[in-house]
């Protein structure tokens, strides 16, 4: 199985397990900058050099040796599951992607046909009932996670604990898991723990939100998208995420985690 979704700086200063929709574009650019003193020109997910990635065959042996022997500080980042699934909807379902097309080709037409969702027309610019459409998308996301129908769950809405677990199960160990909601504090703690070829001043680092502008703007507060049924579906999909990472499962309006993450508990519960 190896270490899917794992990135490592070329200098070997740090290892990062990517969790989609959890500040991964900004984190990737910070890592790139810490080696090269400049940002990657484009979406960091498209970078084929300047950063080791498990998806690149030439990087796999280097990443595997590092992770198995825990040669470098290893970390990842999590996000409130309510905000994360909502972000996935606006980016991947409503949004036009970098290539000018809809995400995963026939996915959106399938959702329109089978689940009755609306995405604002071909270009995503027409007004539509965001709340009703999102709640129908939640039914689809639950079906993919619970029954793997009509398709396997996508990485952007599969549970964070699933992404994070593959790293542990295959022999990795995290030194830090921090919160998107406390990004500067968490990322600074990582930078303080490692030696990088280039000094990084986080206050001067822009936020690389590559999904911004892809789709319609969110028209309502996060909590407005979740009624009792929606919250039930979210609990069904992400209860483990809420429990392990300390987010409030009962209040979608409370995006902040309750406290720090217990790394021993994460390794014990996800290492089965």
Strands (DSSP E) along 132-206, which ranges?
176-179
Length of the chain: 272
Q: Are strands 51-53 and 6-9 parallel, antiparallel or unpaired?
A: antiparallel
Q: At what angle do helices 160-169 and 228-245 cross, to 10 degrees?
A: 30
Task: List the pLDDT tens digit at each of the 272 positions of the chain.
Answer: 799 999 999 999 999 999 999 999 999 999 999 999 999 999 999 999 999 999 999 999 999 999 999 999 999 999 999 999 999 999 999 998 888 889 998 999 999 999 999 998 877 778 999 999 999 999 999 999 999 999 999 999 999 999 999 999 999 999 999 999 999 999 999 999 999 999 999 999 988 876 666 678 899 999 999 999 999 999 999 999 999 999 999 999 999 999 999 999 999 999 97
Count of C-beta atoms within a 10 Å radius of residue 46: 10
Measured between alpha carbons, how far is 119 from 207 in angstroms, rounded to an integer?
A: 26
The answer to whether 47 and 210 have CB atoms below 8 angstroms apart is no
For residue 160, give the 3-state DSSP assignment: helix
CA 184, 187, 191, 197 torsion: positive or negative?
Answer: negative
CA distance 63 to 231: 38
The whole-model pTM stands at 0.95
Beta carbons of 35 and 50 less than 8 angstroms apart: yes
Contacts of residue 126, defined as CB under 8 A and 6 or more positions apart, other chains included, come to 120
Structure tokens given for 211: 């999904």
- Is there a cis peptide before residue 150, judged by omega within 30 degrees of 0? yes
Nearest of 177, 215, 184, 195 to residue 75 by alpha carbon: 177
């Amino acid at each position: 199985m190896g270490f899917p979704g794992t990135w490592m700086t070329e200098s070997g200063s740090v290892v990062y397990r990517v969790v989609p929709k959890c500040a991964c574009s900004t984190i990737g650019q910070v890592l790139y900058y810490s080696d090269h003193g400049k940002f990657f020109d484009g979406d960091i997910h498209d970078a084929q050099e300047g950063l080791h990635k498990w998806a690149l065959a030439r990087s796999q042996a280097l990443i595997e040796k590092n992770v198995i022997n825990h040669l470098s500080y290893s970390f990842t980042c999590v996000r409130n599951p309510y905000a994360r699934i909502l972000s996935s909807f606006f980016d991947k379902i409503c949004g036009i992607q970098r290539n000018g097309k809809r995400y995963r080709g026939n996915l959106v037409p399938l959702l329109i046909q089978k689940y009755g969702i609306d995405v604002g027309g071909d270009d995503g610019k027409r007004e539509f009932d965001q709340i009703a459409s999102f709640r129908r998308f939640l039914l689809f996301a639950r079906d993919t996670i619970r029954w793997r129908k009509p398709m396997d769950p996508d990485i952007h809405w599969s549970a964070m604990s699933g992404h994070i677990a593959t790293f542990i199960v295959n022999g990795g160990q995290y030194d830090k898991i921090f919160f998107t909601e406390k990004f500067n504090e968490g990322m600074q703690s990582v930078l303080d723990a490692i030696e990088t070829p280039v000094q990084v001043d986080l206050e001067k680092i822009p936020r690389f939100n590559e999904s911004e502008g892809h789709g319609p703007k969110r028209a309502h507060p996060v909590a407005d998208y979740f009624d009792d049924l929606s919250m039930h579906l979210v609990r069904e999909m992400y209860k483990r995420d809420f429990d392990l990472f300390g987010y409030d499962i009962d209040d979608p309006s409370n995006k902040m985690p309750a406290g720090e993450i217990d790394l021993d508990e994460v390794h014990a519960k996800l290492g089965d």
